[in-house]
Structure 1
């Protein structure tokens, strides 16, 4: 039986943990091994480069990078690996995360970074799971179950709404 590849969750600062914790939690719910680290594109560029360069050999299948303000972390990691990198722009007090969004999404040709919404950690984890599910049937089954649960939840809300409207 194949072992599920790990997902790395790299945050530019420990202050990103309240947002990033949603990704870690979601990955754990899928049974995906996850490691989280603090690395800075600007303050620890050598460590970020070394991590990304060795990530595939170290059993990772996807890297999630969360950073705010001048959010270059995802791009730095993507420049040093062939693994998929998913960027989470983190909202800051300066420009409400727009600066991080633009820095994460505007990558040069050849260095793609998949980017989720500002503070979109849960979606980053789901996207990472979808990438791993291409070659991991266990993860694929968990995603299918999650989608089924979401559908059932919306259908229950719809039925409840119909009941409320009928009572008007």
Structure 2
């Protein structure tokens, strides 16, 4: 089973999530990549999170950027949100990911910075 799971809301985010893929591959960290939208695939996302043994989740999301918060609401494992610069320079996604309600924490990296998400996941694994 992978220790890190990268979940992207859309294949169109490939340019962003591949930055995390590159770092995790280089560092020889077991990972899995899933394309699951919080809006288009909610049941599939829920089932996947329930069966996953991942230690850390990296969620790449733009626009409403609900994915990281939804994943964080379904697991007690660390979730790292990567806001994508789809609209408004990514500020809409950044604010959506960073403003989680109490009890649903999501670590957030800079806009389009999936590389830092991968490095943060590695630090979490090594803690």
Q: TM-score, normalised by structure 1?
A: 0.73
Question: Structure 1, residues 74-101: CA drift from partner, whole Å, max 9, x if none?
Answer: 0111111111000000001x21111100
* Equivalence for 1:130: 123
Number of equivalent positions = 127
The offset of 1:52, in angstroms, is: 1.7
Contact 1:85 1:114 in 2 (8 A): yes
| Structure with greater helix share of residues | 1
More RCO (CA 8 Å, sep 6+): 2
Gaps in structure 2 of 5+ consecutive residues: none
Q: Corresponding residue for 2:97? A: 104
Which residue of 1 is the match for residue 77 of structure 2? Answer: 83
Q: Where do 5+ consecutive residues of structure 1 fail to align?
A: 135-168
User: Offset of 1:5 from its aligned partner?
Assistant: 5.4
Picking from 40, 46, 49, the partner of 1:43 is 40
Give the Cα–Cα distance (whole angstroms) in 2 for the partners of residues 79 and 53 of structure 1: 11
2:12 matches 1:19: no
Note the aligned Cα RMSD (angstroms). Answer: 1.2
For residues 16 and 5 of structure 2, the distance between their equivalents in structure 1, rounded to whole angstroms, comes to 15
Aligned counterparts of 1:68 and 1:86: Cα–Cα separation in 2: 14
Shift of 1:34: 1.0
Q: Deviations over 1:74-129 (max 9, x none)?
A: 0111111111000000001x211111001111100000000000001000000000
Q: TM-score, normalised by structure 2?
A: 0.96
Higher Cα radius of gyration: 1
Secondary structure of the corresponding residue to residue 97 of structure 1: helix
